[in-house]
Amino acid sequence: MSISHPVTSPNSKLSQAAAQAELYLNQHFENALEELKQLAKIPSVSFAGFDPAHVRKSAEATAVLLKKVGFENVEVLNFEDAHPYVYADYLKAGPDAPTALLYAHHDVQPAGRDELWLTPAFTPTLKEGPGGARLYGRGTADDKAGILVHAAALEAFLKTSGSCPLNLKVVIEGEEEIGSGHLHSFLKAYAKKLQADVIILTDTANFDCGKPALTIALRGLIGVDVEVRALTKAVHSGMWGGPVPDPVVALAKVLASLVDEDGRIAVPGIREMVTPLTEEEIERMKKIPFEEKLFREQVGMVQGAKLLTEGPNPIAQLWRFPSLTITAIQASERKEAANRINDTAWARVTIRTAPGMDAPKTAALLKAHMEKVVPWGLEISVTGGEHGSGAWAIDPTGPAFEAAKIAMTKGYGEEPLMIGCGGSIPFVQPFAEALGGVPALLIGVEDPYTNAHGENESLLVSDLRKACVSQIHLFAEIAERLRPARALQKEVP
């Protein structure tokens, strides 16, 4: 990976300021880690059915932290009926200095199955794990660590140099985990307030423990709820089983029709939308390190499970090809598995969309297919899918990306890989569009063992430290590289 711009001179004032800030961060890192623990104790689950007071408490705690480290104009923003956002800024770097818009989110996923957690989900606990000491707990990595990275970097500059070389605006969202449903209107309402020269979003993953990555592509996401009904009530399976169709079996047949024997989406018209790989993409994908044994270990595949591969590299497959997942299914609960024919069966079906796929069209094709194949004349209802997100990608060239490469190399000791992410981050495209297409730097602290959204979510503590150090140097590098561009723009009549 080449770096076309020279590294900031070690004698420059910015480099010296960053070095001092890095020293402070390392000396006070335990304090930063404690701040993260306090945030992660708050069960800020944004899903319907969970107490929204916890999400508000999380927003308020985030605002307190941002103010404590030196951000100004700190606000908990109540927008429409969304969970609260938090806004803050630091605008003392001067009118010629670039402005970065920082993003993270303070809401989290539900804890999941309590019995599978090694430690309580909302009691952040340090213990050894893959890569070294890890902080276990819901939200430790996704994405309260992202908040901490922003806060720690500014604090380190202010405690050493007394100033930050970059103007900063920060938005911490409260509903990312439920699809950022209000983000478009939020950005429209606050477009002027949020204007910046670059976006730094801390909600993605590194390639591996200690191996940094810049995310330059994302899959999109659509989801629908499907319910099959056979009866107006549940009935005795011995008295009625045989002539009466089982809606659970019917739903299973519908779901089985969605993929072929290799696990690829078989719904007519969906795969045809995917943009074909170019020769350049194929060559880049072949260079991405992949070890099947390690991949299986990281994801936790059971012995004998077949790897469903497509394309030149399974790692690249995660962001360049679509996938279908049944994220939930229900007819009755295990503890209530009585001998009966259930009246209905329900499932949540999601598709991760790839480049070229139109999200609304994908949802429409999925609905039409399920309605067509439901057997035995049973009733079927397919709802949702209207608010899906499309895939996103960016060309990782220009001074902002060079700044990120240099900064992450300083923080981690090796240059970052340019990778995609199989997940969907709904805020990226709206943010980029709202700010006129400015560069978006997607960084984060997760790794293949983090298990975000699952039980035993964890954060590698050493990578959190490296991410904070990288953020310090990123502020300095962006100030160094984007300041001349801003000065040139002002000179143009």
What is the per-residue pLDDT across 475-488, written as a single tens digit (0 to 9) for each? 999 999 998 655 54
| pLDDT at 489 > cutoff 60 | no
This prediction's pTM: 0.81
Any idea what the Cα angle at residue 396 is, between residues 21 and 101, rounded to 5°?
Answer: 50
- pLDDT grade for 4, boundaries at 50, 70 and 90: very low
Query: Which pLDDT score, from 0 to 100, does residue 5 have?
Result: 39
| C-alpha to C-alpha distance for 176 and 112, rounded to whole angstroms | 18
Query: Which pLDDT score, from 0 to 100, does residue 288 have?
Result: 87
| pLDDT at 10 > cutoff 70 | no
Name the residue among 429, 399, 402 with its Cα closest to residue 489: 399
| pLDDT at 2 > cutoff 70 | no
Q: What token pair was written down for 108?
A: 């989290």
| pLDDT at 201 > cutoff 50 | yes
| pLDDT at 454 > cutoff 60 | yes
CB 140 within 8 A of CB 124: yes
Average pLDDT, integer, range 54-66 = 98
Query: Which pLDDT score, from 0 to 100, does residue 6 have?
Result: 40
Query: Which pLDDT score, from 0 to 100, does residue 268 have?
Result: 97
Query: Which pLDDT score, from 0 to 100, does residue 452 have?
Result: 94
| Other CB atoms within 10 A of residue 449 CB | 19
Q: Mention every residue, 6+ apart, whose C-beta is less than 8 A from residue 351.
A: 221, 222, 223, 265, 270, 322, 323, 324, 325, 362, 366
Average pLDDT, integer, range 235-244 = 97
Query: Which pLDDT score, from 0 to 100, does residue 184 have?
Result: 85
The string of pLDDT tens digits covering residues 378-392 is 999 999 988 788 888
Report for 19-23, 282-286, 481-485: range of highest mean pLDDT: 19-23
| pLDDT at 490 > cutoff 90 | no
- pLDDT grade for 423, boundaries at 50, 70 and 90: confident
Unique residue bearing structure tokens 């993929």: 259
The string of pLDDT tens digits covering residues 242-276 is 999 999 999 999 999 999 999 999 999 999 999 99
| C-alpha to C-alpha distance for 224 and 226, rounded to whole angstroms | 6
Phi/psi of residue 151, nearest 5 degrees: -65, -45
Query: Which pLDDT score, from 0 to 100, does residue 422 have?
Result: 84
The string of pLDDT tens digits covering residues 89-142 is 999 999 999 999 999 999 999 999 999 999 999 999 999 999 999 999 999 999
- pLDDT grade for 156, boundaries at 50, 70 and 90: very high
3-state SS, one letter per residue, for the chain: CCCCCCCCCCCCHHHHHHHHHHHHHHHCHHHHHHHHHHHHCCCCECCCCCCHHHHHHHHHHHHHHHHHHCCEEEEEECCCCCCCEEEEEECCCCCCCCEEEEEEECCECCCCCHHHCCCCCCCCEEEEECCEEEEECCCCCCCHHHHHHHHHHHHHHHHHCCCCCCEEEEEEECCHHHCCCCHHHHHHHCCCCCCCCEEEEECCECCECCECEEEEEECEEEEEEEEEECCCCCEEHHHHECCECCHHHHHHHHHHCCECCCCCECCCCCHHHCCCCCHHHHHHHHCCCCCHHHHHHHHCCCCCCCCCCCCCCHHHHHHHCCEEEEEEEECCCHHHCCCEECCEEEEEEEEEECCCCCHHHHHHHHHHHHHHHCCCCCEEEEEECCCCECCEECCCCCHHHHHHHHHHHHHHCCCCEEEEECCCCCCHHHHHHHCCCCCEEEECCECCCCCCCCCCCEEEHHHHHHHHHHHHHHHHHHHHHHHHHHHHHHHCC
CB 21 within 8 A of CB 157: yes
Average pLDDT, integer, range 339-362 = 95
Unique residue bearing structure tokens 């204007």: 195
- pLDDT grade for 287, boundaries at 50, 70 and 90: confident
| pLDDT at 70 > cutoff 60 | yes
Of residues 245 and 316, the one with the higher pLDDT is 245
CB 258 within 8 A of CB 349: yes
Query: Which pLDDT score, from 0 to 100, does residue 487 have?
Result: 52
Strand-pair category, 125-129 with 132-136: antiparallel
| pLDDT at 3 > cutoff 60 | no
Percentage, residues of the chain above pLDDT 90: 81
The domain locations on the chain are: 13-218+391-491, 220-274+322-384
Query: Which pLDDT score, from 0 to 100, does residue 493 have?
Result: 46
The string of pLDDT tens digits covering residues 297-314 is 988 999 999 999 999 999
- pLDDT grade for 11, boundaries at 50, 70 and 90: very low
For all residues of the chain together, what is the average pLDDT? 93
Q: What token pair was written down for 13?
A: 């004032």
Residue 363 to residues 180, 222, 324, 470: CA-CA distances in angstroms? 18, 7, 12, 40
**What kind of fold does domain 220-274+322-384 have according to CATH?**
Alpha-Beta Plaits (3.30.70)
Unique residue bearing structure tokens 């696990």: 263
**What kind of fold does domain 13-218+391-491 have according to CATH?**
Aminopeptidase (3.40.630)
